Structure formats: structure tokens, C-alpha cells
Amino acid sequence: MKFYNSRMETGYLIALLLLFGFMMFVFQRTEAKKRRIIAIMMLIVFLFIRDWVLSRRIVPEANLAFIIALIVNLLFWALIGRYNPVPSSDEIQVLGLDD
């Protein structure tokens, strides 16, 4: 039984790449105190995506999109994110009109 198509669907690949990339970026740029909540929310979204991928039989596209998104997010972290860590909400100072 085949679980995939023989042709690669680039539209699905791009959509899944953007979706996986956005999910990884949001998790990466979330402050440490909120990461557990975000991880649970991402897991729920990931389960919906998995069911959708299996129903459309686009597993190779999903795997390739996940790998590309992972590489891009690791490059972003290595080049930009590591030197600009996410500040905690306690460190952020909001300046108003009186300041």
C-alpha cells in the first residue's frame, strides 16, 4: 500500500514549509517561561497537520518541508538568534509619554 504520490506537489511543499517554519520560529523566539505552553499549542497544531498530511497522502512533501524549515531555523538561530536572545518579560521596559 502506497502512502504517497509519485509526483512532488510543490504547492503543498511551500505551504507546509511556511507553516513549519513559522511554528519553529515562534517556538524559538518565545521567552523561556512560556515555552511549555507554546510547545503544547504547537503539538496540537502539529497533530492536525499530521492528520491532514496523511489524508492528502503528501508525506514526502511534509518530510522535506520539515527538514528545510529545520535547517533554515537553525541557520537563523546560529547567525542572528544566538547573539540576540529573547528578553524575558521582566526585563522589558515600556516607555510612555511621561518618560
**Whole-number Cα distances in Å, 62 to 16, 31, 49, 57:** 6, 28, 9, 10
Residue 96 resides in a domain: no
Q: What is the pLDDT of residues 40-94, one digit of tens each?
A: 999 999 999 999 999 999 999 999 999 999 999 999 999 998 888 887 877 778 8
Residue 88 resides in a domain: no
How many separate domains does the chain show?
1
Residue 92 resides in a domain: no
What gap in Å lies between CA 56 and CA 3, rounded to an integer? 9
Q: Supply the range of the domain harboring residue 68.
A: 10-81
Q: Angle at Cα 27 formed by Cα 90 and Cα 57, nearest 5°? A: 165
Residue 36 resides in a domain: yes
Residue 5 resides in a domain: no
What gap in Å lies between CA 55 and CA 75, rounded to an integer? 32
Q: What is the pLDDT of residues 6-48, one digit of tens each?
A: 678 889 999 999 999 999 999 999 988 899 999 999 999 999 9
